[in-house]
Structures are given as C-alpha cells and as structure tokens.
C-alpha cells in the first residue's frame, strides 16, 4: 500500500507535467480507455487548461510529448530516446519527434566534478592532471565533459558521471515499472505497447551507461574494427584515468561534421565524407556485428587529415552472426523479388509464429518490395525499408528484435547526417561495395563451414548435460515402476555412444578442414 502511494504521488507529478504539455493521453486510444481513465483525463484537462504552456500550440502529439519528457529530467529524457527507437510501438511520427529530444541539462558545479574525479581515481587532481577546465564542454542527463591536460602534457576529455544520478534513476524507474504493470492490467489498449518490456529495456541500457568503464571498453573494441579501414577512428582511452564514474579519452580536435561550410573552407570534400560515414557504419554493423548506435552530428568530427572521429560510446549495438546471416538472406530476397524466400527465412529463424501463414506473410512483404522496384536507387531509403519491414512484422505478432530496431534507428540518423553532407547521395550505390563484400563473406564455403563447426561444437558442449538428463529421466521412470527391457536399454546406450562418437568425429573433421583452408588460403 505504501509503495503504491509513494509511486502514485510521484507519477501524479509526471501526469501533471504531461497534461500541461497536452501530452497525457494519446487521442488515438481515448475511445478505448476505461471510464476511470477518461474521467481522470477530463479532470486534469479542466484543472490545467489555464496553465497550459503556450509553446505547445500547433505542435504535433509527438512534439508535445518530447517537450514534456525533456522537462521531467534525465530518466524521462532517456525514456523518450528509447521510445524513439520503437516506431513499431509508438508510431512513425511520434518516434521521429522523440528522436529530436535533446539530451542537454544544466551542468553541475566544477567543484563537485573535481570531488568525483579525486574519489574515483583515488588521487588528488594535481597528481593526475596539470589542469582541468571548470566550464564543461558538454552537459547531458547522465554525465558532463571537461577538457583537461594530463601530467604528461596530453590533451584529454574527461567525462564525469552526474552526482546522485544512480539513485534518482532507480526511484524513477521503480515508479515507471509499477505504472507499466498497472497499465498492462487495467488499460487493455496499452498492452500492445508492452510497457513493462519498454521500462525493463530502459533500465538495462541506462545502468550500463552509468558505468563508464563499460563505455571505455566499447570505445576500445570499436577502435579495433575501425583501425582496419583507417578513414574513421575513435579517441584512445586513458585507462589509468578511467573508473566507474570517470572516463578519460584523448581530446578530439576537428570540425563538427554538421558544419558543412567550415568543412568546405578547410578543404574537405563533403560528398566523400558522406560516403565514408555510410560505408563505415555498414561495415561496423554487417562486417563486425558491433556498431556505434548514436551517430548524430554532435558525436562526429572531421580531423585535419580528413578522417572522421566518433565520440560518446554510451549506446552501442550488436548483431550476432546468425542475425547478420538472417539479414543477408532477407536482403537477397528483396533484391531478387523472392518474397517467399524472405518469408521462409523468418519462419525458419523462429521469428514468424508457427500459427501464421508463410504465404500471407510473403504477400505482405511483396507490398513493401514491389513499390520500390524500378525506382531510382537514390529515392529509396534503407532505413525506411527496414522500418516498413518492422511494421509488417508487428502486424503478424512477430517477436520484436531489439538489435534490429536499434540498427534501423541508427540508420535513420546516419542517413540524415549523410544527407546534410551530400543531398544527392545515392545510398544504395555508396553501400554496394560493403554490402557485396558482406554477402560474399556470409555465403562463402569457408563461412558456411565455420557456421557448421560452431553448430557442431555447440551440440558437443551440450551433450554431457543431455546425457545427464537422460540418466535422471531413466531413473525416474524406473522408480515409477515402469522398467525397460534389458535389450532395449542396451540399444539406447549403444545409440547414445555412437551419437557421441559421430559428433566428436564431425567436430574434429570440421576443425581439420578449417585448418587446411587457412593454410592453403
């Protein structure tokens, strides 16, 4: 009871703020809401009408929601950004408006930042930095960044976690989790939005961002894959000056990628930069399965040597090898207009529910693919194609793939940045070299052999556990009075042994084949 009252009071404050921005209840579901919810909406609307903010006039529902969430603080800013990656839940227009939600809040005092740095690094400031600027260069909902100079004379950027942010997030997320459970129980129209799942995902992402050592690890891992191409890079991490609440990296010196005029004045080619950014992102996602998922203009700079430097590694995406293979099959199916193949791939991957018609799903896919056939490729957005695909999958009650949604959301942002650099860029032509290399690698005999080896090794690893379960099952059957004939038991044991031998021989043969291919390559 006390928990409900505590959360109720906190959420009433949130409801009032949403009502002030005319963003409390989506008008699309008012008719379906239960009577108590409609009454609450009416009461709040009447109570707050004179206080309604003038800056919401003429705004769309998504824009009003973005303004309201931005005024509620860090947790709700993150909630809005998470919902921006879920157009399948909130709709395309609302997602687009939430994507513009600015993660900027007033900075906290420099003295507090120094205290946190000294506590986390366990040394006085003077022992690790020659100097550190009092005014932060950036202040966001979770952390702020100060420029500094190390005792060795190296220019660095120091990211410091906002004081008290962890308990504040926990309080807000606990209240949101309670509200999500309440909504799923009592407001049926909201169940399709899966509010509890949304809050759970938000909690996971937010608390990962609050350990800056994880962000440092992400920057380091991404640097390894970016080093292969050289045209895009990430600043080096100073691990000796990094802890849970403090992250130190080399200071980035360059021109913001959104300042096209300054780039041209400095002798850089915006069209070449657009192509580089698009190809690098696709190579990260498809080639390595690990990509920067927050590539907006504020996180991208162009260095004097023409390389693109990316910063802020709090939001990263991963695609497993099976997921990348699934994407390859899907892409080939759309390219060749083989929609039945795409539908079967979804069914075989277990994404299309078994009770749904593969043929009907193929028909829905045709509705996406046919309108783009024959159109100039520069008029076709990859992100838009992915988004339409996700909308169709929602219609067929298919399980949401969060990593693919994050990929689609990032693709929208990357396309926007590239469009600012080169409005005439043909995205498909620019992407072709990376996509072709990825498809060749994905369907090459060597790659298929590696997939088979991994599958066989996985079965072999699980075999002892399966054998143990079979033994326990046999014991239970015997205890219940049902006994197997001795010859039957022997046959089962012999079959298990033969299966195990075949699996181990298969693993050894595959491993040998991989070695031979590597030597002869």
CA distance 311 to 302: 11
**SS3 of 279-306:** HHHHHHHHHHCEEECCCCHHHEEECCCC
Beta-strand relationship, 308-310 and 232-233: parallel
Q: Is the alpha carbon torsion for 340, 346, 348, 354 positive or negative?
A: negative
In contact, 414 and 310? CB cutoff 8 Å: no
Task: Give the contacts of 132 (CB within 8 A, at least 6 positions apart).
Answer: 114, 117, 125, 146, 147, 148, 149, 158
**Residues tagged active-site:** 294
Give 54: exposed, middle or buried? Use CB within 10 Å, 0-12, 13-18, 19+: exposed
Give kind and range of the element (H or E) at residue 248.
strand 246-250
In contact, 140 and 120? CB cutoff 8 Å: no
In contact, 316 and 290? CB cutoff 8 Å: yes
> Locate tokens 């695909």: which residue?
389
In contact, 241 and 120? CB cutoff 8 Å: no
Count of helix runs (H) and strand runs (E) in the chain = 21, 11
**SS3 of 99-134:** CCCCCCCCCCCHHHHHHHHHHHHCCCHHHHEEEECC
């Amino acid at each position: 009871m006390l928990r409900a009252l505590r959360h109720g009071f906190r959420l009433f404050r949130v409801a009032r703020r949403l009502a002030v921005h005319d963003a409390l209840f989506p008008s699309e579901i008012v008719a379906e809401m239960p009577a108590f919810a409609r009454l609450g909406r009416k009461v709040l609307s009447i109570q707050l009408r004179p206080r309604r903010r003038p800056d919401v006039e003429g705004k769309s529902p998504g824009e009003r929601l973005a303004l309201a969430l931005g005024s509620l603080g860090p947790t709700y800013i993150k909630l809005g950004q998470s919902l921006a990656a879920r157009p399948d839940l909130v709709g395309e227009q609302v997602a687009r408006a939430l994507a513009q939600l600015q993660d900027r809040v007033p900075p906290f005092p420099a003295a507090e930042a120094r205290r946190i740095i000294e506590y986390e690094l366990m040394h006085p400031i003077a022992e690790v930095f020659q100097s550190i600027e009092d005014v932060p260069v950036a202040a966001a909902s979770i952390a702020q960044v100060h420029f500094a100079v190390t005792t060795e004379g190296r220019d660095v950027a120091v990211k410091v976690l906002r004081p008290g942010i962890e308990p504040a997030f926990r309080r807000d997320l606990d209240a949101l989790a309670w509200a999500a459970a309440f909504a799923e129980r009592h407001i049926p129209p909201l169940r399709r939005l899966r509010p509890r799942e949304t809050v759970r995902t938000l909690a996971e992402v937010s608390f990962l961002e609050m350990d800056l050592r994880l962000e440092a690890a992400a920057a380091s891992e991404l640097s390894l894959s970016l080093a292969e191409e050289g045209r895009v890079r990430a600043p080096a991490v100073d691990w000796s000056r990094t802890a849970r609440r403090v992250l130190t990296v080399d200071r980035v010196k360059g021109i913001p990628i959104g300042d096209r005029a300054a780039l041209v004045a400095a002798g850089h080619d915006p069209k070449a930069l657009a192509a580089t950014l698009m190809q690098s992102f696709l190579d990260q996602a498809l080639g390595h399965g690990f990509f920067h998922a927050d590539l907006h203009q504020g996180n991208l700079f162009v260095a004097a040597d023409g390389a693109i430097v990316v910063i802020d590694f709090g939001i990263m995406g991963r695609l497993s090898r099976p997921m990348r293979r699934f994407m390859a099959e899907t892409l080939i199916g759309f390219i060749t207009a083989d929609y039945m193949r795409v539908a079967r791939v979804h069914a075989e991957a277990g994404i299309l529910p078994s009770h749904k018609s593969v043929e009907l799903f193929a028909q829905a896919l045709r509705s996406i693919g046919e309108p783009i056939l024959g159109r100039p490729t520069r008029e076709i957005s990859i992100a838009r194609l992915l988004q339409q695909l996700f909308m169709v999958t929602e219609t067929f009650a298919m399980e949401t793939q969060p990593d693919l949604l994050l990929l689609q959301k990032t693709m929208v942002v990357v396309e926007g940045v590239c469009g600012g650099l080169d409005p005439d860029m043909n995205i498909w032509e620019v992407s072709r070299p990376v996509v072709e290399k990825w498809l060749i690698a994905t369907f090459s005999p060597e790659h298929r052999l590696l997939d088979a080896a991994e599958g066989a090794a996985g079965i072999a690893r699980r075999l002892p556990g399966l054998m143990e379960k079979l033994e326990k099952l046999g014991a239970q059957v015997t205890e219940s009075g049902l006994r197997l004939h001795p010859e039957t038991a022997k046959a089962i044991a012999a079959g298990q042994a033969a299966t195990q031998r075949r699996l181990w021989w298969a693993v050894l043969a595959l491993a040998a084949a991989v070695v031979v291919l590597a030597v002869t390559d």
